[in-house]
Amino acid sequence: RGLTDISLLEHFIHLRYVDLSKNKLKDLAPLSSLTQLLWLKVDRNLLTSASMQDLPYLQVISFDRNHIVDFEGITHPLLANLSLKENKIETVLGLSHDHLFSLQVLELRGNKLNTTAGLGLSKLKKLYLAKNTICSLEGLEEFEQLEILHLRDNKLEALDGFSASMKCLQYLNLRSNGIKSFQEVGKLQVLPMLQALVLMDNPCAQEPDYRLQVLSQLPWLQRLDKETVEEEEREEAEKIRQTRKEKEK
């Protein structure tokens, strides 16, 4: 609707669900009086900051497709789902581990992050980081409850940084990065619960016997790329693994 002023909303103190998407808002200060708010969507506005006064019951916020540069002022204690897709975030500056202790889902696709450092919130279960410029994986030992990690379309060439403390990670998407060797894939052996891995559109996926080579490194996978692992594949991969062991001896 092209709205630039939402000061009238200050009077509707019992509002719980508010959608202000596709306007021209630069300031969310009038929402500070909506202390009963549970759900807020302000996609496609002109916001450069997500800063707001703490809202005690707010659980879901979407700030997609704005011009936000950092996490300053996002400190809602019950916030469980935060989406900042396609903004201009280069740094985790302002990400408050002390305040965002309820956050379980963090969506940061299409920003300008170059590392994962500082994102390890204690209860985080799903983290979406596709289409950034991430070239190094840091601080992953903090992701003790993370179940899903999306890193598609980044700049990763090495898979250092994964940690055995990531004992809940089940799904990992590494599509369209720069991973060349199966030796790098072998570094994922520290992930005890990994069931589904996406590696297509990496240089290593062009190698002969690609699937068998990956499965020889990660024999417990249930799904590789879009296909379920067949028992015959598993047996063939085991032979490759045994042969490699013999050579190493």
pLDDT digits (tens, 9 = 90+) for 158-212: 999 999 999 999 999 999 999 999 999 999 999 999 999 999 999 999 999 999 9
- Residue 31 dihedral angles phi and psi, to the nearest 5°: -80, -10
Alpha-carbon distance of 163 to 165, in angstroms, equals 5
Asked if residue 118 is part of any domain, the answer here is: no
pLDDT score of 249: 76
Alpha-carbon distance of 57 to 6, in angstroms, equals 21
Per-residue pLDDT for 49 more than 80? yes
What is the residue range of 164's domain?
138-248
Alpha-carbon distance of 90 to 115, in angstroms, equals 9
- Say yes or no: 152 and 244 in one domain: yes
CATH code, 150: 3.80.10.10
- Say yes or no: 70 and 150 in one domain: no
- Say yes or no: 150 and 227 in one domain: yes
Q: Global pTM?
A: 0.94
Asked if residue 51 is part of any domain, the answer here is: yes
> What's the total number of domains in the chain?
2
Packing angle of the helix pair 210-217, 231-248 (nearest 10 deg): 70
